Each structure stands twice: as structure tokens, then as C-alpha cells.
Amino acid sequence: MGTPVRTLTVLYDAQCSLCVHLRNWLLRQRQLVPLDMVPAGSDEARRRYPRLNHARTLREITVIGDRGQIYAGPAAWIVCLWALAEHRPKSHWLATPTGLPFVRGTMLAAAKYREAMASGTATGPPCDDQCAVPR
């Protein structure tokens, strides 16, 4: 068995209100594995991960484990949930063939919302302060 993950770095788009909202939500949760939030494409991200495709990290959530593991898209979101005390059991289910379509659907909805924000057609915030991951 490998060494347990001690920390995860989450690269998020600091210019996207949805991404910042999700970052803040993640930080409010009790973490079993600490989440280090770093703006994607930032000087800090480029310094830490010089060989990473930083343009891609601005298009989709990217999580990097302390041993260099790279998770992107649906896998990154599942790993973020896995790091949280309350949501770890759900993350195990979401990683199954039955749960993965829910993650993909959520990621697609988030991408469409981001696209609407970029085009100026989005209305209102993604959700209020009570927003949570469904159980």
C-alpha cells in the first residue's frame, strides 16, 4: 500500500465567481486531507508546477497530490470531496460507474454556467450561502 496523501493543491480560476464560490465552500468544510487553494495560471501555480499545462487548469478544476498525482475535471472534483469529512462516503460512490454520470452532469452544468457568465447571459449567483453538495 502507498503512502497516504498528506495534502492536495486545488488550482481554481480566481476570475470565475462560480470557482471562487466553490473554493470558499471547500474551505468551510472539515478537511480530512488539507486543501491548499492556489489560483490557476498564477505565478505561484507556475512556480510550483512548471511543467503543468496552465492554460488547461484555467478551463477545468485541477488537483495535485503531494506526490505529484494530477487529477482534472470529474476526477478532481471527486478527490476534493474525498478530502472532506462529511463528503468522503459520497466521493466513493461518485467514483463508481453508477455515480460518475452525476459528476459529469454536474461538471457540464458548471461549464455551461461559466460560459453564460463569460457571455454575460448568466443571471444571479450559482447558489446562495447554503449551497451544498447533495447527499
pLDDT at 116: 73
Look over the chain and give the mean of its residue pLDDT values, rounded to a whole number. Answer: 85
The predicted-structure confidence for 63-114, as pLDDT tens digits, reads as follows: 999 999 999 989 999 999 999 999 999 999 999 999 888 888 887 877 777 7
Q: What does the alpha-carbon distance between residue 59 and residue 84 come to, in Å, rounded to a whole number?
A: 24
Q: What does the alpha-carbon distance between residue 44 and residue 28 come to, in Å, rounded to a whole number?
A: 23
Q: What does the alpha-carbon distance between residue 122 and residue 10 come to, in Å, rounded to a whole number?
A: 25
In the chain, which ranges are continuous DSSP H helix? 17-28, 43-48, 54-57, 74-82, 88-94, 100-119
Domain coordinates in residue numbering, the chain: 8-119
Counting residues of the chain whose pLDDT is more than 90, the rounded percentage is 58
pLDDT at 33: 96
Global pTM?
0.80
